A and B are shown apart, each in its own frame.
Chain A
Amino acid sequence: MELFRTSRNVYGQETLAGMSWDLILVFVAVGAALIVLHAAYRLFLAPKRK
């Protein structure tokens, strides 16, 4: 998986064109994992406040 997109300018030099859009799914997955892990922790492991 690439981290960056690149392109070539008029002089043929490789230049940064931005973040790789393959990363969209990675950031969505991180958000989903955070939600699932936190929900599971609160459901099964978190101590109850009296």
Chain B
Amino acid sequence: MDTYMHRRLLAALITASILLFGSASADETCMSPYMAKIVGQEDFVYVWTLGIEGVGDEQDKLVTIDVRPDSDTYGEVVHSLSVGGRNEAHHSGLTDDRRYLWASGLDTSAIMIFDIHTDPAKPRLSRKIDDFVEKSGGVVGPHTNYALPGRMLLTGLSNSADHGGRTAMVEYTNAGDYITTHWMPTDDNLNGAVKGGNFADGYGYDVRALPRRNVMITSSFTGWNNYMMNLGAVMADPEAMQRFGNTVVVWDLHTRKPRKILDVPGAPLEIRCAWGSRSNYCFTTTALTSKIWLIYEDDSGDWQAKAVADIGDASLIPLPVDISITADDQQLWVNTWNDGLTRLFDISDPEAPVQILEKKIGAQINMVSQSWDGERVYYTSSVLSNWDKVEAPEGEDLQYFKAYNWQDGELQHQFTIDFLAAKLGTPHQMRFGAYSLYGK
């Protein structure tokens, strides 16, 4: 291997690990179908932000940004609520009534429940769950915070026994009381599931529900040993590099029992299901192989998975992170971390997505959130504290929140908030708030 190739592979592995250790998730068009939704102008974007050593108070915090175009404080941080430490802040999710925002940490497994309805401009910490691992029976790394009627479903990434990738989903009441744990099926315990291919790894990552088909879909990533390990150590350990998920599991939504394990090799991350009343399919993207996969119900009612498109040039390791489906199921935003691009795919034929646009957003990119009407698109940059890039090329933003309008087939930049200059930390997941949700 010559030096150039070695460096290129090294960069690929580094960025792959960065991607895999972080993640991305949803927005107004990608949230639970059980949830109240903002169909007009959102008032605020809540950004779950990682505390970083040497930046501001160094604590994880919930940052509130005013996005009302007619507001005197449009484009400004109007509130910041620090939570007293660093937890590897990652994903967040709203309860079905949108009165509370749950935000979790991958390292400490702490979960913060913020009251966002009493004063949507000034969230306050309502409850902190710090016994998630104990109560769940050993689940580590709460990731997706997903609303079900009157309850929250949290996917785990790992477990306390070996800190590997075997994990579970955990249910809580909206008030934050533990209900039950559902372990992912493995070869040792399929729990009634049909193994559709070669893998039954028991890994977890994201979850989405299709209530009209009584189906729940989960994806798979990697365990605490990998996502909290020094990157160089992961790269030096070939076995560790093998410990990434290769499965998507189809569950019975009502009984919470796994039905079928599908092979989706290469760490399938975010899941986005179509909204159409006759569209029985979801998309995911694989981090390691840079592909869009279609998870779909076939004519016989069985669920299948197949790769339907490449994302960029896979040999350049673009590393897809967050994805966002439009409310009409016609387009899919796909961010690629390594090259800082947001890409738009035409998915009007879900079996043959076609990329129709790409635009550089920053030196790195992770999350994308769009309004229900698709007219506003927001981006953040951070993946994980230990893996984020520390320098940006001249003229490229490193740690940012960016707002765009989507108009006439173009992303029109509205404003940028530099989270390092503002001494906030590094911005991760975004959720929307609006006074109208609460009759205010």
Decide whether A and B are members of one complex: no
Binding site for B on A (CB under 8 A): none
- Chain B interfacial positions (CB closer than 8 Å to A): none
